Amino acid sequence: MSAEPLSRPRIVAAAIDLIEREGADAVSMRRIAADLGVGVMSLYNHVPSKAALLDAVAETVLSEIEFTDDPGADWADRVRMQARAFRQIAHHYPRCTMVVVSRQLKSTAGLLPVERALATLRSAGFDGAEAVRILRMFIAYIVGSLLREVGVTPTFAPVHHLQVDAGKVDPVLFPETSSLLPELGVCDHDAEFEFGLELLIGAIASARGPRGR
């Protein structure tokens, strides 16, 4: 089918394609090989195992984040931009998001974002320990937001099914939930994400001020 030689990047790209087309459950070495028009075992010349391939998928998606950092800008603006850049994963590779988030990478693929975030927070006047703490908090919020956005987090947030079978939610047992079904049934992901982001940045900013820096 393709004249190009088999290579690790081409295999990873095929895997990402397959995941976006049919979901992570559809991934198999045999399927990817078929998509590339080669025998299964050919893959193993470039990738040691399926697990390693999925790690490579995660690393690649992570490394494709476009961080356009403006070191001259306000630290809060820089944090905003970095958080939004990270969130782009969910838009560019929605069905890979779970793969990215569920693989424990041991490479340095995700190190650049970390470096930038730490530098930004240090420039805002936080010491090392504070910067790490704050970074972890932002990552927790962002990762959790991505999972909701990608439609994976349980029972909470867009509950279209509940809206549809509104009768299923007993208004006596769950008065608040059933009265808020309209609100629970829709979710403006942009607005939702920005709301929490601003809240966190605001909280961080006022934590920085009072302590006097």
Partner DNA sequence: ACCTGAACACCGTTCAAGT
Considering only 49, 114, 190, 211, the residue that binds a second copy (CB under 8 A) is: 114
6 binding partner (options DNA, a second copy, none; Cβ < 5 to 8 Å by kind): DNA
136 binding partner (options DNA, a second copy, none; Cβ < 5 to 8 Å by kind): a second copy
103: contact with DNA by CB under 7 A: no
Q: Could you tell me which residues come within 8 angstroms of residue 135 by beta carbon, excluding any fewer than 6 positions away? A: 114, 117, 118, 121
What Å distances lie between residue 188 and 45, 178, 182, 184, CA to CA?
45, 20, 13, 11
- What x-and-dash track marks residues 14-43 binding DNA by CB under 7 A? -------------xxxxx------xxxxx-
Contact between 131 and 121 (Cβ < 8 Å)? yes
101 binding partner (options DNA, a second copy, none; Cβ < 5 to 8 Å by kind): a second copy
168 binding partner (options DNA, a second copy, none; Cβ < 5 to 8 Å by kind): a second copy
63: contact with a second copy by CB under 8 A: no
73 binding partner (options a second copy, DNA, none; Cβ < 5 to 8 Å by kind): none
144: contact with a second copy by CB under 8 A: yes
- What x-and-dash track marks residues 48-87 binding DNA by CB under 7 A? -xxx------------------------------------
Nearest to 95 by CA among 193, 192, 21, 33: 21
Binding site for a second copy (CB under 8 A): 58, 62, 98, 100-112, 114-115, 118-119, 122, 128-129, 131-133, 135-137, 139-145, 147-148, 151-157, 161-162, 168-169, 173-177, 179-180, 183-184, 187, 192, 195-196, 199-200, 202-204, 207
Q: Which residues bind DNA (CB under 7 A)?
A: 5-6, 27-31, 38-42, 44-46, 49-51
